[in-house]
Amino acid sequence: PLYGDREFDLGATRVFGGFTQDFYDAYNEALPLNKGANERIKFYELYLLMVHLVKFGSLYAGSVNRTMKDILND
């Protein structure tokens, strides 16, 4: 089991995909997210993408840049 921030888990689902809007709707219905969660989740996404950029190279550079721009434009 993970004893961590569930927003981190949701960030991972957004980075690695395979989850539908129905998943996110059901998740939020079962355990509603706190105010500002979507903004914080973007930082977790960025963290995961940056780790992959370091580990696997420039393949992740575009995703890192897009996520950073998305955060800055909020």
The DSSP secondary structure of 29-46, one letter per residue, reads HHSPPPTTHHHHHHHHHH
Q: For 36-68, what is each residue's pLDDT tens digit? A: 999 999 999 999 999 999 999 999 999 999 999
DSSP state of 1: -
Phi-psi domain of 17 (left: phi exceeds 0; alpha: psi -120 through 50; beta: other): left
Nearest 5 degrees, angle CA 35-CA 17-CA 53? Answer: 95
Give pLDDT tens digits for 13-24.
999 999 999 999
Report residue 12 as tokens: 């991972």
pTM here is 0.88
Q: In angstroms, rounded to a whole number, what is the distance separating the alpha carbons of residues 49 and 43? A: 10
